[in-house]
Structure 1
Amino acid sequence: MTESLSSLHAELAGVVLVGRELPDVLTEIVQISRRAIPGADATSITLIRDERAFTAAFAGQIAMDADELQYQRGYGPCLDAGRSGEVFVVRDMSAEDRWPDYALHAARLGVGSSLSVPLPFQGATIGALNNYSTEPGAFGDVDVRLGEEVAAFVAIAVGNAEAAARATDDVMNMRRAMDSRAVIEQAKGILMERFKVTSEQAFTLLTHASQRSNVKLRDVAEELTDTGVLRGS
């Protein structure tokens, strides 16, 4: 067990998170997970966003197919793990009675057993790491522990990606705000020169034009700087 964990940690430590698209990172992680968990013939990552579940990455077509069976029905071990935060082990898919309709069709796909581990993120659960085997009884306590280690790393990868996205959005919003401020100041200068008014009075002229025409203040200012025309005047 210790050797397996050390090997898994070494592989995960080699995954580059910075400067990569999240799907690429998750695809590398599921490949590592499939190699690390002895019973896994196929592995996938389910993410849940606004109650909608989707497979973000998979290694082995049977994983994708089994995930889709659950999404179509709205229930199954991967969805329940992702929603409840609990680990679900299906030891024999042909005899599984918690999700009978799903289990019947999954067994027909060739799934013998499965292991679904929740993805913890900031006190909540955002999905599940799903492992599938063509053999019954493929997953035990060691597999659960290894799966939990991978799941924790997936959460880190998702967290990094979301933080990067927020940072990008913040930068873009800041740039837009700075651009808007610059064009409004330029428009105020035009009005101050044209009507011999103060900065405050020029801003009032812009806001009144915006309100009368139901057009954003920035757009009114931009039109004035581009054409010399104050909308509505």
Structure 2
Amino acid sequence: MTQTGPGSPAAGDAPVAARSTGQVADDEDLRESLTGLSRLATARLDLRVLLTHVAEFAVRAIPGADGAGLTLLEDDRADTMVASAGFVREVDAIQYGLDEGPCITAAAERRTVRSHSLGRDPAWPRFGPQVSRLGVHSVVSLPLLAGEGVLGAMNVYARAEHAFDERAVELGELFAVPAAISVQNAQALARAQRLAAQLQSALTHRAAIDQALGILMSRSGCTPAEAFDKLRVLSQRQNRKVSVVAQQLLDEAVARARARHGAG
């Protein structure tokens, strides 16, 4: 029989030490992932690229993860989806095709959702069996919350059953808070960039319309209001936007001017 004493390790000490070492490694992975998130805040990245990086950091932050995806909601429907791996895209495509799955539940109910065995989970009777046949058996889905609203959800998948324990869920929820902030900031930046592009386009179109009105007024001696009516009629006849017709008039006027200059 093995003896233990003051100087000898107890039988239960080795597993405790192993767990402690594992927790230290998990904490370090979480810290590195959070550091990566903080660096994204200063990066000028396309929205989908930034979200993909967030998904990749989630895989590192959450023990047992083989892949992760992020889904953003617009008007309460899935709008932007990214994934850290190809199998995640396949799984999420099934989920949204069926309108059933952990991400949908997590976002709708604003709570963390976990499954140890998707193929046998009664929560998603159609989704679970389909993804289990792909070899994906465990999931943790975490809502991305911003105040009273839900930005979307982060889905973390594993091929093994029972891959995510309470510690994994705890780390996932810790990671989800700054991840949601990063996502919200990225969305705000993307909206600002779209608005700037729209304003620039509007200014460009306005300049073209004003110049086209000038051309029509010089040709016929009409008033600005009469010139605009002419432009509007042309737009309706050609079934094209006023800005497109205006640009065509400008292009034709420039071509004629160049032809005259060349002939002279």
Q: TM-score range by the shorter chain?
A: 0.7 to 0.9
| Alignment pair present for 1:93 and 2:127 | no
The alpha-carbon distance between structure 1 residues 193 and 39, as it changes in their structure 2 partners (threshold 3 A), is closer
> Residue 125 of structure 1: which of 143, 150, 160 is its match?
150
Could you tell me which amino acid in structure 1 is paired with residue 136 of structure 2? V
Shift of 1:141: 3.4
Q: Which runs of 5 or more residues in structure 2 are unaligned?
A: 1-22, 255-264
Instruction: Give the C-alpha shift of residue 26 in structure 1.
Output: 2.5
Task: Mark the runs of 5 or more structure 1 residues left unpaired by the alignment.
Answer: 229-233
**CA–CA distance in 2 between the matches of 1:192 and 1:84?**
61
Superposed counterparts of 1:1-233, under 5 Å: 3-4=27-28, 5-15=30-40, 18-49=43-74, 51-52=77-78, 55-59=81-85, 61-121=86-146, 123-186=148-211, 202-215=223-236, 218=243, 223=249, 226-227=252-253
- Distance 1:148-1:181 versus aligned 2 partners, 3 A rule: same
Change beyond 3 A, Cα 1:141–1:167: same
What letter corresponds to residue 22 of structure 1 in structure 2? Answer: L
Structure 2 CA distance for partners of 1:147 and 1:194, relative to 1, 3 Å? same
CA contact (8 A) 1:114 1:139 kept: yes
Contact 1:46/1:56 (8 A) holds in 2: yes
Mapped partners of 1:31, 1:195: distance in 2: 63
What is the percentage of aligned positions where both structures have the same residue?
31
Aligned to 1:231: none
Query: Which residue identity lines up with residue 227 of structure 1 in the other structure?
Result: A
The AA in structure 2 aligned to 1:58 is S
Cα RMSD after superposing both structures? 3.5
Supply the AA of the counterpart residue of 2:38: A
Q: What secondary structure, in the 3-state scheme, does the structure 1 residue paired with 2:143 have?
A: strand
Larger radius of gyration: 2
8 A contact 2:151–2:184 mirrored in 1: no
| 1:37 to partner: Cα distance | 0.9
Deviations 1:100-146 (A, max 9, x none): 23223333333332211112246322332112223333323332232
- Once the two structures are superposed, residues 70-89 of structure 1 have per-residue CA deviations (whole angstroms, 9 ceiling, x without a partner) of 23322011221133322111
- Give a deviation string over 1:7-60, Cα, whole Å, max 9, x none: 43223223365322223222322222112211212222233445246641223x
Question: Residues 210, 19 of structure 1: CA spacing in aligned structure 2 closer, same or farther, 3 A cutoff?
Answer: same
With 104-113 and 77-86 compared, the bigger mean Cα shift is at 104-113
Q: Is the 8 A contact 2:47 2:190 kept in 1?
A: no
CA contact (8 A) 1:17 1:160 kept: no
Question: Cα offset for 1:214?
Answer: 4.4
Asked whether the equivalents of residues 121 and 128 of structure 2 are also in contact (C-alpha less than 8 Å), the reply is yes
CA distance in 1, matches of 2:159, 2:251: 68
Number of positions where the alignment pairs a residue of Structure 1 with one of Structure 2: 224
Q: Is the 8 A contact 1:29 1:154 kept in 2?
A: yes
In structure 1, how many angstroms separate the alpha carbons of the residues matched to 2:118 and 2:183?
30
Separation of aligned partners in 1, 2:44 and 2:176: 21
CA contact (8 A) 1:209 1:220 kept: no
SS of match in other structure, 1:109: coil
> Please, what TM-score do these two structures have when normalized by structure 1?
0.74
